[in-house]
Amino acid sequence: MADILDIISSRQSIRKYTDEPIPDEMVDKILEAARWAPSGENEQPWHFVVVKDPETRKKIGEYCKVGTGQRGTAEHCLHEDHRFDVYTDPAEKARLQEFYYSGSVSVFPAKAPVVIIAAGSLKGMMDTPYDISAAIQNAILEAHSMGLGACWVHGPAVYPRIVKKLKELLGIPTGMADYKVLAIIAVGWPAGKRSHPQGRKDRSTFVHYEKFGNMKRA
């Protein structure tokens, strides 16, 4: 059995896929991994809509583009788009900003053979967003362990108009107190050679001992 830390540290967000279909058995394993996620009071508030229909996936991709574009524009207007501060080449920075602000960065679910919409019951459950985030992590790690690529998008879930369209498209009850769409997960066989996973900050930069700001272990 592979060490779980190896699976976690080698996972990447994959946004380009081949046309090869994914066997239902593999999709079932992804959903089974999600099923075993922890949840507050073991409420298990998650619901997953599995989409393979090309036209539906295309519309989901369009909604992802609009939602992410709106999010990027809002960040820019509020001067909170610090994600681009690491780029020193002005031309490269401008190209990536345009790619993000236009929402094009999030069109990829349309090309994935399987798209999974994660929604959660909101009836008296304040823990739902946290519970479903844990389930999504389980799902994408299981996908990676089987050689699949996955990436989840939550930008579209921030905007009520986009969420309403997603709900109508997928038949999810539209009442505000019923279900909340929290993420769109694209799954497929990776196209092209995988690059090395992006680095992570050293633990010494974010681990505090006993009190915030104390970065040294006693």
pLDDT in the model for residue 136: 98
Antiparallel, parallel or unpaired: β 46-51 and 179-188: unpaired
Starting at the earlier edge strand, list the strands of the sheet with 179-188: 46-51, 114-121, 179-188, 149-153
- When pLDDT is averaged across residues 68-96 and rounded to a whole number, the result is 63
- When pLDDT is averaged across residues 71-99 and rounded to a whole number, the result is 64
Using the Cα atoms of residue 57, residue 21, residue 29 and residue 11 in order, give the sign of their dihedral. negative
Q: Taking the mean position of all CA atoms in its chain, how far away is CA 81?
A: 19
Q: In the chain, where are the structural domains located?
A: 4-205
Question: What are 10's two structure tokens?
Answer: 């080698």
Which residue type sits at 70? Q
Which residue from 146, 147, 87, 154 is spatially nearest to 116, judged by alpha carbons? 154
pLDDT in the model for residue 116: 98
Q: What is the mean pLDDT of the chain?
A: 85
- When pLDDT is averaged across residues 199-216 and rounded to a whole number, the result is 92
pLDDT in the model for residue 163: 85
Q: For 110-148, how does the pLDDT look when each residue is reduced to its tens digit (9 = 90+)?
A: 889 999 999 998 776 688 999 999 999 999 999 999 999
pLDDT in the model for residue 155: 74
Whether 195 has a pLDDT exceeding 90, the answer reads no
User: Rounded to the nearest 5°, which phi and psi values hold at 82?
Assistant: -75, -5
pLDDT in the model for residue 151: 93
Whether 208 has a pLDDT exceeding 90, the answer reads yes
Whether 191 has a pLDDT exceeding 90, the answer reads yes
CATH architecture, range 4-205: 3-Layer(aba) Sandwich (3.40)
Q: How many CB atoms lie within 10 A of CB 173?
A: 11
pLDDT in the model for residue 101: 65
Question: What are 133's two structure tokens?
Answer: 């985030």
Q: Taking the mean position of all CA atoms in its chain, how far away is CA 155?
A: 9
**E-state strands within the chain:** 46-51, 114-121, 149-153, 179-188
- pTM as predicted: 0.85
Whether 29 has a pLDDT exceeding 80, the answer reads yes
pLDDT in the model for residue 176: 58
Round to whole Å and give the CA distance between 66 and 188: 22
Distances (CA, A) of 175 to 45, 83, 142: 16, 34, 32
Round to whole Å and give the CA distance between 10 and 40: 28
pLDDT in the model for residue 65: 77
Round to whole Å and give the CA distance between 42 and 167: 25
What DSSP designation does 192 have?
A: S
- When pLDDT is averaged across residues 71-89 and rounded to a whole number, the result is 61
